[in-house]
Amino acid sequence: MTERINTVMLKKLIDGQTCASCRICCEYDDSDVWDAPGFTQEEWDRAKIADRFGWSKRGELYYLDMKKDKDGLYHCPCLSENGCILGDKKPFRCALWPLYVVRNGGGLYFAVSDVCPQVYPMDDERILSGISHVAPMIREAVKRDPSLVEELHENYRILADINEVG
């Protein structure tokens, strides 16, 4: 499901070459390393990477260990020269990025991260149009596993209530 969300959603928003050459979604600095995605138990079991990388469990989620390089960046260990080694086994948060499902007040909303140089500048209507066909799958995923919902962060722009899209 996560690869379908990622592939279908992003093709409607940006071309695959632009996305693949950027890789900003898989790199972090000290200001945003907190945003590195965690894996739910189901995603962790499906990815079968526990013996390949260092990791830790915090709360309900599994996180891959990332070491800072000489340039001060942390890189996801799943990122190779050819892209993500996880393919269709990416965690939900990776498949959805640069979008998030966030909690704001009593509701759930789609939001976009200002870190993505391609999607963030788009107007809300264009982004929402690009995800409307996968919105039902996203709603079902967060209903099944509420740990997929993020807290609203200052560098996210709220787009719309998740129940009003698609």
Identity of the amino acid at 112: V
What average pLDDT is seen over the chain? 89
Q: Is the pTM of this model over 0.85?
A: yes
Q: Identify the three-state secondary structure at position 27.
A: strand
Q: Which residues pair with residue 99 across a beta bridge?
A: 112
Phi-psi region of 139 (alpha: psi -120 to 50; beta: other; left: phi over 0): alpha
The span from the CA of 48 to the CA of 71, in Å, is 30
Confidence category of residue 82, pLDDT binned at 50, 70, 90: confident
Instruction: State residue 2's pLDDT score.
Output: 52
Residue 93, Cβ neighbours under 10 Å: how many? 22
Q: Which of 4-8, 18-22, 118-122, 145-149 has the lowest mean pLDDT?
A: 4-8
Give the contacts of 42 (CB within 8 A, at least 6 positions apart): 145
Please tell me whether the peptide bond between 77 and the residue prior to it is cis, using omega within 30 degrees of 0.
Answer: no
For 27-56, b where at least 16 C-beta lie within 10 A, e where not — what string? bbeeeeeebbbbbbeebbebbebeeeeebe
Tokens 């200052």 belong to which residue? 154
Confidence category of residue 4, pLDDT binned at 50, 70, 90: low
Q: How many distinct structural domains can be found in the chain?
A: 1
Higher local confidence (pLDDT), 95 or 160: 160
Q: Which whole number is the average pLDDT over 77-93? A: 89
Instruction: State residue 29's pLDDT score.
Output: 93
Q: Which whole number is the average pLDDT over 137-160? A: 93
Structural domain including 105 reads 2-164
Q: Note whether 162 and 143 are within 8 A (CB).
A: no
pLDDT at 102 over 60: yes
DSSP string, 81-123: TTEETTGGG--HHHHHTTEEEEEETTEEEEEEETT-TTTTTS-
Instruction: State residue 21's pLDDT score.
Output: 82
